[in-house]
Amino acid sequence: MMQMMDSTWSSTEEVIALAAFEKAFERERNALLAEVRERARVIVELDDLWRLHDFLSARRHDIDGKYDYRDTTLIFVFAQLVKEGWLDLNDLQGIEPSKLTKISVLARM
């Protein structure tokens, strides 16, 4: 995990960041599982099933990319998670205020 972090994050911030990631991942995963169970329940035709397949292809691509921190920086990942509603800024309390400001600004873009 450590090599994925920007070098300017303190070890306290790393602990907070990791916990926030895990929280966001849990929330997004649980929402996705609930949505799939609901979609699967109302499938009647093969076309409905292929729509579920397309939906899963897109969600898998999105989630695999978003929670893989190697290619990106934490600021951008957090901004995306806040924008999508999987985190709010309170989940990131303890992180340097200048970083929180960047995350907040990016999340509104």
- Minimum distance between the CB of residue 27 and its own copies, rounded to whole angstroms? 12
CA dihedral of 99, 102, 103, 107, whole degrees rounded to 10: 180
Closer CB to its own copies, 2 or 46, in the complex: 46
- Minimum distance between the CB of residue 67 and its own copies, rounded to whole angstroms? 10
- Minimum distance between the CB of residue 46 and its own copies, rounded to whole angstroms? 5
51 binds its own copies (CB under 8 A): no
52 binds its own copies (CB under 8 A): yes
Distance CA 5, CA 84 (A): 22
CA-based nearest residue to 77, from 33, 32, 107, 47:
107
40 binds its own copies (CB under 8 A): yes
Closer CB to its own copies, 38 or 71, in the complex: 38
31 binds its own copies (CB under 8 A): no
Give the residue ranges of DSSP H helices in the chain.
11-41, 46-66, 74-83, 97-107
